[in-house]
Structure 1
Amino acid sequence: MENQERNTWSWGFSTGAENWNGRLAMIGFVAALATELIAGQGVLHFWGIL
């Protein structure tokens, strides 16, 4: 039951919210690395910001 409580969606600073924040941050970091490897340039250059 404890694992189910950690994965449920709830607002505010809760264990479930922190777990989702970490998971999405890891996905974003891997996506940024993949973009740099495939495009051969940084993410900001890829998007035309720099």
Structure 2
Amino acid sequence: MENNSRNSWNWGFTAGAENWNGRLAMIGFISAVLVELVSGQGVLHFLGLL
């Protein structure tokens, strides 16, 4: 099997890792905004931490 450098997973601060980090951060931010819009309270209050 041929090891293609585009498909191999590299650890550390790589372009692929930064892309995934950005995507997951956007999903988390949108989720927090939706929770606040739907429930009328912040995420920490929604989870019962405050």
Report the TM-score when normalising by structure 1. 0.80
Q: Which residue of 2 aligns with 1:38?
A: 38
- Percent identical among aligned pairs is 69
The superposition leaves residues 26-49 of structure 1 with CA deviations (integer Å, 9 ceiling, x where unpaired) of 000000000000011000000001
- Deviation at residue 11 of structure 1 after TM alignment: 1.2
Point out where structure 1 has 5 or more consecutive residues left out of the alignment: none
Larger Cα-atom Rg: 2
Distance 1:47 1:8 in 2: 38
Report the TM-score when normalising by structure 2. 0.80
- Deviation at residue 9 of structure 1 after TM alignment: 4.0
Point out where structure 2 has 5 or more consecutive residues left out of the alignment: 1-5
Aligned length: 45
Q: Which residue of 2 aligns with 1:26?
A: 26
RMSD over aligned Cα atoms = 1.7
Q: Which runs of 4+ in 1 moved over 2 A?
A: 7-10
